Amino acid sequence: MPPNVTSAPNGIQYEDETMDPLIPSIEKYDGYPKQLPGNEYKRELVWRNIILFAYLHLAALYGAYLMLTAASWPTVIWAIVLYHWSGWGITAGAHRLWAHRSYKANLPLRMILVLFNTLAFENHVIEWARDHRVHHKFSETNADPHNANRGFFFSHIGWLLCRKHPDVISKGKGIDMSDLENDPLLKFQRKYYLILMPIVCFVVPTVLPVYL
């Protein structure tokens, strides 16, 4: 058994618990410098992501308009259901189950959560969990993927619109991900993510209301 999957006495671990962590590799390291001199890093925008996020948000606004003016109630309810399912894929799945290992889940539940995570379009579970473990271990430093010291916008969405700080990449390589990388289900999702995500996130949610 890898060292990062030991069980907690109560089966649940909260982010502020003081018991031995389920994943020692994400214990916060306070000795890491908060900031490096400004001339050592220059932010590089990723225009592909900027254009994609702009399109998605504009499409969401148009969808909200259609919801109020043209969509049928079953379609509106379907959209609300999808919203909650995708949220569970992140909160109950990628976050609490896989990033923190806060609880155990049987195979059917894990399959459902992987499906919901794919629906959310926030990267595959292994990548999401790695970034989150790095965030907890190096919180509010240059190695934190969404360092709040870089501003409110950056910590919420801006970090997805630019290249990762070199410290995020280097420290991410040192995070123990063996528990997730040895999971066949998560390996399958990672391998076929670029095929699964468009189908689960865009094609199926669009087609079902049209033909049902």
Q: Is residue 29 assigned to a domain?
A: no
pLDDT at 179 over 70: yes
The 3-state DSSP class for residue 115 equals: helix
The Cα–Cα gap between 208 and 66 comes to 17
Q: Is residue 19 assigned to a domain?
A: no
The Cα–Cα gap between 194 and 127 comes to 13
Residue among 129, 52, 51, 121 at smallest CA distance from 96: 129
**The pLDDT value given to residue 156:** 95
Q: Is residue 162 assigned to a domain?
A: yes
Q: Is residue 199 assigned to a domain?
A: yes
Query: Amino acid identity of 202?
Result: F
Task: Write out the residue range of the structural domain in which residue 58 sits.
Answer: 44-211
pLDDT band at 23 (very low <50, low <70, confident <90, very high): low
Contact, 40 vs 166, CB < 8 A? no
Q: Where are the beta strands (DSSP E) in 58-201?
A: none
Q: In this structure, how many other beta carbons lie within 10 angstroms of the beta carbon of residue 162? A: 16
pLDDT band at 29 (very low <50, low <70, confident <90, very high): low
Q: How many domains does the chain have?
A: 1
Q: In this prediction, what percent of the chain has a pLDDT beyond 90?
A: 78
Task: Note the pLDDT tens digit of each residue in 35-94.
Answer: 544 446 788 999 999 999 999 999 999 999 999 999 999 999 999 999 999 999 999 999
Q: Is residue 22 assigned to a domain?
A: no
**The pLDDT value given to residue 13:** 46
**The pLDDT value given to residue 41:** 76
pLDDT band at 212 (very low <50, low <70, confident <90, very high): confident
Q: Is residue 201 assigned to a domain?
A: yes
- DSSP state at residue 131: H
Q: Is residue 110 assigned to a domain?
A: yes
Task: Note the pLDDT tens digit of each residue in 90-146.
Answer: 999 999 999 999 999 999 999 999 999 999 999 999 999 999 999 999 999 999 999
Q: In this prediction, what percent of the chain has a pLDDT beyond 70?
A: 81
Q: Is residue 31 assigned to a domain?
A: no
